[in-house]
Amino acid sequence: MGMQFLEFARMCEHLEGISGRLDLIEEISTVLPRIDDKELPIFVRFIMGRVFPDWSPKKLGVGPNLLYDAVAYVVGTKRNAVREAINVTGDAGLAIEGLLANKEQTSFFVQEMDLLEVYHDFERVASAEGARSQREKLLLIRKLFANAQPLEGRYLARLMLEELRIGVGEGSVRDAVARAFDIDVHLVEHAHQAMNDLGEVALLARRDPAALSEVLIEPFRPVKMMLAQAGSIAAQIEDHGEVAIEYKYDGSRFQFHKVGDVCRIYSRRLEEVTGSLPDIVMHLSRATSHDVILDGEVVAVQDGRPMPFQYVIRRFRRKHQVDAMMEKIEVVPRIFDILYLDGTTLMDRPLTERRRILEDVLDAHVAPQFLVTDAADAEAIYADAVSLGHEGVMVKVPASPYTPGVRGRLWVKVKPGVETLDLAVIGAEWGEGRRAKMFGSFLLAVQDQGRLLPVGKVATGITDEALADLYALLRDSVIAHSGKEVTLEPLAVFEVGYSEIQASPNYESGYALRFPRFVGVREDKGVDEVETLDSLIERYRQQRPSDP
């Protein structure tokens, strides 16, 4: 018999009480060997608060409202009563646990659920589609909660909201897998990068550890994108002698998979966006006859000059009337890496070799690259990049492998300095992993005639220590909770750096900040002194006089 969901919930509760990372790893590593093959991948994902593999396009698609409706039905109340309970505890899991504990015992019997059954139900929830999908999802979720004991309810709810809040992150689980099956942690990490599902890696670690070192990237199973750190050209040249410089395109990252005639495109978040970008498929399938996985940036161009990022992102989101949109905005691929060629995984080959292969197999759309040893040459390329309308440059280490999901110094991004704004903090979102018990990001606003209008969120640039301080500063100003988000009484002012102000329908102010970065709390300023909408618009106009 498999692991009961109740046992899983008890384990989560136990882990929730442990704060040391090493203790968490120890605990998880002792449990892993006891779990049978079928449930091991599920357990590994669940314990990280995830339901499906990271590469999978499957999404549960359960928002707070659907969840609260299901719980309300099971405990015999209304959605609002559930919401109230959540506002009181500040945590959906705990509130729902309480509601289930208090409910009249109307159910004659509660069926035990094991991990596999819960997972299968989640799969059904995820695959519900079409007009009746919400209703179908609701029925499935009701069934789950009807069978749940209160403690199970706590973790079912949190799983559905994809946040377990037990302080267990990917790194801890990876270390626990290595430890449980006595395998070098680098090997586990490497296999994880290629497979993009720690659950399956755990299974392999137990069943066939030798195979871990031969894990391959598979087409149509996207890997995470390799990321860059901010840095300087000079330091990178000093450290490595020679560097490979590319333009930093202001577009949207994508991964292109092709086998024979079948092509698929994945966004930076690994969502499949093939249908929105038929022109990119056409460009790339014409440029190669090989089976490939390519990494690059989609950019919008007009009269040969790059257009701002927001034009591209509009295309990524486009589901209908793609044709009409295609005429308005021309998008082209800029390919800078290749991860797979005709059955061979290339992620461990040095960048210079991948580059040679890329130039061999792709007849067009390869992004220019300059191998440079001299800092003055590098600066000249940087100046060119900016004057051509690019964001800056990427400075890459020629000998580096492709490391999916890693934001390291093998790729360094260099772009012109950031400006800052002082903004009101009007909301926050709970953090993840070891930041699960504090806020991880903050909703910011400008002022406009006595109202505060959101312009974006900031999560970058804040150390763990600063986050703890911010939590202490803001915890008592929480007005309401909704899912992972809280509304805050506007008291604090943050100084925030950004790289660009963009027109955006996503925020009430009509604008959004690109690359917002926390600089500090302006303790000397009150909320009535924050940036006004008018001055924000003024800055927006000045940064790019040619913008529409």
Residue number of the CB atom closest to ligand AMP:
253
In the complex with ligand AMP, the residue whose CB is nearer, 228 or 361, is 228
CB 419 within 8 A of CB 498: yes
In the complex with ligand AMP, the residue whose CB is nearer, 81 or 227, is 227
Q: At its nearest, how many Å lie between ligand AMP and the CB of residue 375? A: 19
Known catalytic membership, residue 396: no
In the complex with ligand AMP, the residue whose CB is nearer, 43 or 311, is 311
Q: At its nearest, how many Å lie between ligand AMP and the CB of residue 225? A: 6
Conformational region of residue 488, where left means phi above 0, alpha means psi within -120 to 50, and beta covers everything else:
beta
**Residue 500 CB neighbour total at 10 angstroms:** 19
In the complex with ligand AMP, the residue whose CB is nearer, 40 or 228, is 228
| E-strand stretches of 111-251 | 227-230, 243-248
156 contacts: CB under 8 Å, gap ≥ 6: 5, 96, 118, 144, 145, 148
In the complex with ligand AMP, the residue whose CB is nearer, 306 or 431, is 306
For residue 88, give both structure tokens: 């009181």
Query: What would you report as the CA-atom Rg of the chain, rounded to the nearest whole angstrom?
Result: 25
In the complex with ligand AMP, the residue whose CB is nearer, 316 or 507, is 316
Q: At its nearest, how many Å lie between ligand AMP and the CB of residue 131? A: 36
What is the Cα–Cα distance from 443 to 411, expressed in whole angstroms?
Answer: 29
Name the catalytic one among 137, 224, 248, 258. Answer: 248
Q: At its nearest, how many Å lie between ligand AMP and the CB of residue 174? A: 22
> Burial code of 297-310, b = ≥16 C-beta within 10 A, e = fewer?
bbbbeeeeebbbbb
Q: At its nearest, how many Å lie between ligand AMP and the CB of residue 248? A: 4
Q: At its nearest, how many Å lie between ligand AMP and the CB of residue 309? A: 9
- Does an H or E element contain 285, and which? helix 278-287
In the complex with ligand AMP, the residue whose CB is nearer, 181 or 336, is 336
Q: For tokens 């999908």, what's the residue? A: 133
| E-strand stretches of 239-354 | 243-248, 252-259, 262-267, 292-302, 305-306, 330-341, 344-345
In the complex with ligand AMP, the residue whose CB is nearer, 181 or 247, is 247
What is the Cα–Cα distance from 445 to 538, expressed in whole angstroms?
Answer: 16
* Residues contributing to the site for ligand AMP (CB under 6 A): 225, 227-228, 246-249, 253, 297, 336, 367, 394, 413
Chain centroid offset of residue 375 CA: 35
What is the Cα–Cα distance from 249 to 337, expressed in whole angstroms?
Answer: 14
Select from 378, 403, 384 the least CA-distant residue to 244: 378
**Residue 476 CB neighbour total at 10 angstroms:** 9
Q: How do beta strands 407-414 and 227-230 pair?
A: parallel
Enumerate the β-bridge partners of residue 422. Answer: 495
Beta-carbon-side half-sphere exposure of residue 288 (alpha carbons within 13 Å)? 28
Q: At its nearest, how many Å lie between ligand AMP and the CB of residue 514? A: 9
Q: Is 76 helix (H, G, I), strand (E, B) or coil?
A: coil
Is the CA virtual torsion 283, 315, 123, 56 positive or negative? positive
Q: At its nearest, how many Å lie between ligand AMP and the CB of residue 336? A: 4
- Active-site residue set: 248
